[in-house]
Amino acid sequence: MTMAIDWTLARALLEWQLELGVTDAVLAEPVDRFVQPAAALDEAPMPPAMTAPGAVSFAAPDAGAPLAPAVHVAAPEIDAVALATQAAQRARSLPDLAEALADFAPCELRRGARNCVFSDGNPNAQVMIVGEGPGAEEDKLGKPFVGRAGQLLDQMFGAIGLTRSSPDPAASVYITNTVPWRPPGNREPTPEELAMLRPFLLRHIELAAPRVLVLVGNVACDALLGRRGILRLRGHWTQAGDLPAMPMTHPAYLLRNPAAKREAWADLLSIKARLASGL
């Protein structure tokens, strides 16, 4: 007996499969849908002959005749970077950009994520922190840096008088990620994914207009500096576009390597001195 499935149950089942990472519906065995079964050809009724003058005869095809080969038309190539650039530039505010990013269909990462993790903190802050990508907790809550690494990040910047909850731009931070959707298995974003989402990140920085950028981890440095090797880059001021940028090791790295916290503290003091100098 076949059980009837209403639309609410069908949608719930589909969303469950999407959350598991299903991208295509396939059968257990390949099916050539251009070949008709022989039984279907034998049982098909023959159309009556048309003998009227000028009539066109529609004769049944010969079952033994080979079928014409299927013509497969390739789908046109989609320039995802160009589409992302257009969508990002149309955004005139941070809420506009958040909506455009959440609706950006060409990025496959959004299919396996629960939330588009856009930002947290004070958007008017002088310091903008760019992380790598959402983890499980961030994906669940829709905010960047909310797990153990995020708690350590808050403690680190709180030690130099900067918090994500302060309404004062001089005493607050604004936080985002290089990619807004959690990659499957917490893997790093691919070069193609970074290139596709980079226009949104650049527009995000442009609209927020911070004084200083803090690039946390290799992925952020790759996206905005085109370089990796965070242990070599950290502690040295550089330029990301027109803004001064300080690369720092990721708090997750510091949790695994507590001895590196001394270097991170030196980087925080350098950021504090840069803000105090007005440069």
Q: What is the mean pLDDT of residues 20-38?
A: 65
Residue linked to tokens 């550089």: 238
1 within domain boundaries: no
Instruction: Give a yes or no: residue 60 inside a domain.
Output: no
Phi, psi for residue 82 in degrees, rounded to 5: -65, -40
How many helices (DSSP H) and strands (DSSP E) are in the chain?
11, 6
226-243 average pLDDT score: 96
Model pTM?
0.73
Is the Cβ–Cβ distance between 249 and 234 less than 8 Å? yes
Report how many domains make up the chain.
1
Is 210 in contact with 175 (CB distance < 8 Å)?
Answer: no
Residue 32, sorted as left (phi over 0), alpha (psi -120 to 50) or beta, turns out to be beta
Q: Which two tokens stand for residue 47?
A: 């159309």
Start-to-end C-alpha separation, the chain: 75
* Region 258-278 average pLDDT: 96
Local confidence band at 13 (pLDDT 50, 70, 90 cut-offs): confident
Length in residues, the chain: 279
Q: What is the pLDDT of residue 12?
A: 74
Given a cut of 70, whether residue 43 has pLDDT beyond it is: no
Give me the pLDDT at residue 56, please. Answer: 47
* Beta carbons of 236 and 204 less than 8 angstroms apart: no
Whether pLDDT at 34 is above 60: yes
Higher pLDDT, 93 or 58: 93
Distance of CA 14 to the CA centre of its chain: 21
The CATH number of whichever domain residue 170 belongs to comes to: 3.40.470.10
Q: Residue 58 has what pLDDT?
A: 47
Residue 99 included in any domain: yes
**What tens digit of pLDDT does each residue of 59-104 get?**
555 555 565 566 555 556 789 999 999 999 999 999 999 999 999 9
In a domain, 116, yes or no: yes
143, pLDDT greater than 60: yes
Question: pLDDT tens digits for 150-209?
Answer: 999 999 999 999 999 999 999 999 999 999 999 998 899 999 999 999 999 999 999 999
* Spatial CA neighbour of 247 closest among 129, 121, 124, 118: 129
Specify the DSSP element, H or E, that contains 206.
helix 191-208
Of 43-47, 131-135, 177-181, 231-235, the range with the lowest mean pLDDT is 43-47
In a domain, 152, yes or no: yes
Q: Which domain holds residue 248?
A: 82-277
| Alpha-carbon radius of gyration of the chain | 28
Does residue 55 lie in a domain region? no
Task: Output 93 or 12, whichever has higher pLDDT.
Answer: 93
| Percent of the residues in the chain that have a pLDDT greater than 70, as a whole number | 77
Backbone phi, psi, residue 175, to 5°: -125, 135
* Cα–Cα distance measured from residue 124 to residue 122, given in angstroms and rounded to the nearest whole number: 5
- Indicate whether 269 belongs to any domain: yes
Q: Confirm whether 272 is domain-assigned.
A: yes
The pLDDT of residue 72 is: 59
- pLDDT for the residue 14: 77
